[in-house]
Copies of this chain bind each other. A is one copy, B any other.
Amino acid sequence: MPTTPTSTHSSAPTLAEVARHAGVTSATVSNVLRSRGRVGEVTRQRVLEAIAALGYRPHLPARALAEGRAPTIALMVASIANPFYPEFALAVENALRRSGQFLIICNTDGDPHTGRAYLEQLAGTLSAGVLVMNANLDFDDLRLSELRGAPVVLCMWEKPLESPGLPCVAVDFHLAGELAARHLIELGHRRIGAIVGSKAYGIHAARYDGFVTAMEAAGLDPAAAPVIHASDTTQGGYAAARELLSRHPDLTALFATNDLPALGAMQAAADLGFDVPRQLSVVGITDIHLASESRPALTTVAVPTVEAAELGVALLRELIAGTGKSGGQGEREAKVCVASPPHLVVRASTAPASR
């Protein structure tokens, strides 16, 4: 029987309904909700009761529209399935939750096009700001997003001394590379192979530069160290290590610019019959959870992931708050916010050179 389609009271209660129920006007309800205005204690109670009685919950899009501020933050990553990102995303979500904002995950697949589409849809409408990991986005797209009213923060920018022209959280990955390499050198290793990931955007260049710095500081010739570029995955590291070790069987250590490839390198070494760390030392960078769970556990340079996430959120919030002030975003120098320095974590994958 086709009666009125809108059932009388089953739909979500609105402010107006709460107001009617409490015998006040919606402005008053809004005021008690936001503890904003001056509301009499008795009405306040009546309103609170009405809210509880009706099970009222604010309608976030409506609020966003009226307030002119978006209720979410977007996090752009190449793929959330890469083991590093979830650790970071968790920290971001925790930081956001405290301030009542929500996290939208955007996987770009490393495709600038996908990233751009996300930015276009979200920036300034659903999302008040954008956090960017190495998602292979076009910096011009990112700057455009700023102009659209959604600040962008680059998380884990690799070169503290060099501004990307965009606000960012910088982590000294040059130092990370240096610490990793120095550790090997101090263990007596001289013939070290390097596995360098993510050529795109020069990511990991800083890490390799750190390697070079450490080599030179020790009076070694960095150019003599064989280098292989690999994709930033276990498989990539595995293949790279196989190639490296078969072409240079005299290598006593492998330096990888990231943990995943380092882990892959350890497996390749094992498959090739190398005993890690007795015959071959392996070191990575980042210290993802997996690093401590491998056998042997991976020696690596820990990077302040959680801190970077929190700094990123804080910086983004600051930028969002400041949007529109002083005429804008584009001109003044992009703020770079430096996280604590990385530090070496010695585990079981490195040992003194024996050959």
Contacts and interface: CB of A to CB of B under 8 A. Distances in A.
Contact of A107 (B80, B93, B122): B93
A133 interface: no
A57 interface: yes
A107 B90 contact: yes
A247 B103 CA distance: 46
A126 interface: yes
Interface in A52-100: 57-62, 64-65, 70-72, 79-83, 85-87, 89-90, 93-94, 100
A270 B327 CA distance: 63
Interface in A245-269: 263-264, 266-267
A41 interface: no
Interface stretch (A4-12, A171-179, A278-286, A336-344): A4-12
A355 interface: no
A297 to B, nearest CB: 9
Interface string A1-35: 00001010011100000000000000000000000
A263 B293 contact: yes
Given A83-B83, A149-B11, A103 B102 contact: no
Contacts of A12: 124-125, 148-149
B90 A86 contact: no
A86 B93 contact: no
A60 to B, nearest CB: 4
A130 to B, nearest CB: 13
A125 B59 contact: yes
Interface in A86-140: 86-87, 89-90, 93-94, 100, 102-107, 120-122, 124-126
A234 interface: yes
Contacts of A5: 324
Interface of chain A: mostly helix, strand, loop or mixed: mixed
A17 to B, nearest CB: 14
A94 to B, nearest CB: 7
Contacts of A120: 57
A62 B65 contact: yes
B93 A60 contact: no
A149 B125 CA distance: 23
A81 B90 contact: yes
A328 B266 CA distance: 56
A132 to B, nearest CB: 16
B71 A80 contact: no
A328 B10 contact: yes
Contact of A86 (B58, B81, B327): B81
A347 interface: no
- The 8 tightest CB contacts between A and B, nearest first, are A61-B64, A61-B61, A60-B126, A60-B125, A81-B90, A86-B86, A81-B86, A80-B86
10 contacts: A57-B120, A57-B121, A59-B125, A61-B61, A72-B126, A81-B86, A86-B86, A93-B105, A104-B105, A234-B293
Interface of A: 5, 7, 10-12, 57-62, 64-65, 70-72, 79-83, 85-87, 89-90, 93-94, 100, 102-107, 120-122, 124-126, 148-149, 234, 263-264, 266-267, 270-271, 289-290, 293, 295, 324, 327-328
Given A57-B148, A60-B61, A267-B293, 15 more contacts: A12-B148, A59-B125, A60-B125, A65-B65, A72-B104, A80-B80, A80-B89, A80-B93, A93-B105, A102-B104, A103-B104, A103-B105, A105-B105, A263-B293, A270-B295
